[in-house]
Structure 1
Amino acid sequence: MASDEKKIRGEKQIDENLKRVYEEVVNEEIPDRFKDLLSQLKSQSDSGGSDVSR
């Protein structure tokens, strides 16, 4: 049926777009703010502290 083919094409297009967007997000660089927070947490765990200065 023509409507089945149209539905399949639509689903395929949605799949391709979702994969493309996901791939773009996965390849984005981590923002500097998050890198800084991760550094603070790492240095905190290395020193045995439990408090992050703001």
Structure 2
Amino acid sequence: MSRSGTCWDNAVIESFQSNIKSEVFQYVKFNSQRYQDVVEWVITYFNYYNEERIQ
């Protein structure tokens, strides 16, 4: 960890969160507001992002 206030520390997770917002939550309409539904979608996206997506 570097000094506080350094934006580069969070750059990787910020980029990933931007990807998940633009690729999943923009196009998926959840029929319910259940926590479990969202968790399932996030896990599915993790698998896609790490294993299937062209990198």
Give the TM-score taking structure 2 as reference length. 0.35
Larger Rg: 1
**Structure of higher RCO (CA pairs closer than 8 Å, 6+ residues apart):** 2
Give the TM-score taking structure 1 as reference length. 0.35
